[in-house]
Amino acid sequence: MATVQDGMRVCILYTLTLDSGEMIDATEEGQPLCYVHGTGSIIPGLEQALEGMSVGETKDVLVPARLAYGDKEPETVERLPRNLFPDDVEVGMGFRMRTDSGQVLTVYVESIEQDWVDVNFAHPLAGEDLHFQVEITDVREATEEDVACGCGCESCSEDCGEDCGCEGCG
């Protein structure tokens, strides 16, 4: 039986909650999250916890902030001109922006004023310990296409999400 290890395409069902018990994300039944293990496609703490599991296994995983999205740091907030954002900008939205050096970063809107938008360069879950309930639904050796795609979808022509990074996805 195949186990979760580097180079394997892994599919999971999960529920994600915070310390408060608030559920903040979950896969829909029958719609697992698939990824290639060992490629950094999911947060490091969860990837480590899934190592060695097999199809059908379930696990409760606590991922500390440092192994998820890092610690919350106040110096990651910056004020940008409002005209850089679309009219329908809302608190919590994420935007990809390019730094002066050309690096692409995702920023998250924290507050909106008439002339300014405060964005945070840290993920909204930075500083949060994450609680996952996980079930492994599929494990198989990753194909060249899986590795090239990086997102674990069956084909990069599928809509595997705007953050997958594949050409043709999202």
pLDDT tens by residue, 103-115: 888 899 999 999 9
Average pLDDT over residues 31-47: 94
- 61 and 34, same structural domain? yes
Span 77-110, pLDDT tens digits: 899 999 999 999 999 899 998 888 988 888 999 9
- 18 and 62, same structural domain? yes
Model pLDDT, residue 98: 87
Residue 131 domain-assigned? Answer: yes
State the first-to-last Cα distance of the chain, in angstroms, to the nearest integer. 32
Lowest-confidence pick of 18-22, 130-134, 143-147, 166-170: 166-170
Q: How far is residue 16's CA from residue 164's CA, in Å, rounded to a whole number? A: 19
Residue 164: pLDDT band (50, 70, 90) is: very low
Nearest to 68 by CA among 49, 51, 82: 49
Model pLDDT, residue 153: 54
Total count of domains within the chain? 2
Model pLDDT, residue 151: 56
Higher per-residue confidence, 165 vs 98: 98
- 114 and 35, same structural domain? no
Percent of the chain exceeding pLDDT 70 equals 88
Residue 163 domain-assigned? Answer: no
Domain interval for residue 98:
74-120
Average pLDDT over residues 120-126: 89
Q: Following CA atoms 25, 48, 36, 150 in sequence, which dihedral angle do they give, to the nearest 10 degrees?
A: 70
Lowest-confidence pick of 82-91, 119-128, 134-143, 154-163: 154-163
- 134 and 87, same structural domain? no
Model pLDDT, residue 128: 94
Indicate if the alpha-carbon torsion angle 20, 62, 106, 160 is positive or negative.
negative
